[in-house]
Amino acid sequence: MRTRRRDHGQATIELALSLPLFCLLVLGVVQLAVVLRDQLAVQLAARDAARAAAVTAQPQQAGTAAALNAVALRPITVQVVEGRDMVTATVRYVQRTDVAVIGVLLPDVVIDAISSSDSMVQAAQTVTPGGTVSWVGMEVFLGAPQMPWDLCFLRNLTIRGGVAPVRRYLPELWPLVAAGKLDPSPVLTHDLPLEQAAEGYAIMASRAEGSVKVCVTPS
């Protein structure tokens, strides 16, 4: 009986000594999970910012708006840099280490994510071997990205692209617009009469005047 009591007392002491360390370990894992979650969110914001900045004449404004719409993290800073053939977006967020107990022992974490407009290259590197990579829009002709053709060949990829198949989707989209269920105004930056259609195409092609899409209205 004395041995059992002695063993029981020893186990109690060991538990009392190890429990705080175990709790700190659990809280540390929770804090790490929070940081990793926010890291993924910042990466998403950077990708969306780069996509938006690459197709507008106002890349900084468009990239910032896209990043803010992509995630709920606040505050984040967005910096967009235009190169000759590439747009790079950098998103920064300071993660406060505020998990109970463990948070005061750790410094705040600064999370940076950088993304660029060469999404076709990234797609070619990550798509399943034998898969298809495609992109839609006039950028196919105006500024097609440099593809890693050797990688595409070795991975047996299919690369395709073309203009948006508007006539295919118009019968489904137009009733939604007419019923007020779909609002196209955020992308319709210009409204020109039919006689100025050629000018409208020129504006869109050059991304001039902050254009995204031009609406042509018959007179």
Identify the pLDDT of residue 8: 61
Mean pLDDT of the chain: 80
- Residue 154: its pLDDT value, please? 92
Q: Are residues 142 and 81 in the same domain?
A: no
Whether 109 and 146 share a structural domain: no
The pLDDT value recorded for residue 142 is: 57
175 shares a domain with 90:
no
Closest CA to 93 of 105, 109, 81, 106: 109
In a 3-state reduction of DSSP, which class is residue 110? strand
How does pLDDT run across 73-119, given as a tens digit for each residue?
A: 888 999 888 776 677 888 999 888 888 777 777 777 777 776 665 66
- The pLDDT value recorded for residue 1 is 47
State residue 107 phi and psi, 5-degree precision.
Answer: -75, 160
Answer yes or no: do 75 and 177 share one domain: no
Same domain, 110 and 81: yes
Percentage of the chain beyond pLDDT 90 is 6
Mean pLDDT score, 187-204: 86
Average pLDDT over residues 184-206: 84
Q: Are 39 and 93 in the same domain?
A: yes
3-17, 163-177, 181-195, 204-218: segment of lowest average pLDDT: 3-17
Query: Residue 16 pLDDT > 80, yes or no?
Result: no
Which positions ≥6 away from 146 have C-beta within 8 Å?
Answer: 85, 118, 121
Same domain? 187 vs 156: yes
Of 114 and 46, more confident: 46
Task: Choose the final residue of a domain: 71, 91, 117.
Answer: 117
| Whether residue 169 has pLDDT greater than 50 | yes
Task: Check: CB of residue 170 under 8 Å from CB of residue 164.
Answer: no
Count of structural domains, the chain: 2
pLDDT of residue 116: 64
| Cβ-Cβ contacts under 8 Å for 77 (sequence gap 6 or more) | 91, 92, 93
Do both 97 and 169 map to the same domain? no
Q: Which domain range does residue 43 map to? A: 2-117
Q: Which long-range contacts (CB under 8 A, 24 or more apart) does 201-208 make?
A: 204/138, 205/138, 205/142, 207/55, 207/56, 207/57, 208/57
Lowest mean pLDDT among 77-86, 127-136, 142-151: 142-151
Task: Report the candidate in 203, 197, 204 with the shortest Cα–Cα distance to residue 218.
Answer: 197
The pLDDT of residue 125 = 79
Rounded mean pLDDT, 122-128: 77
pLDDT tier, 156 (very low <50, low <70, confident <90, very high otherwise): very high
Do you find a cis peptide bond into 184, omega within 30 degrees of 0?
no
Q: Please tell me whether residues 87 and 140 are part of one structural domain.
A: no
Do 19 and 61 fall within a single domain? yes
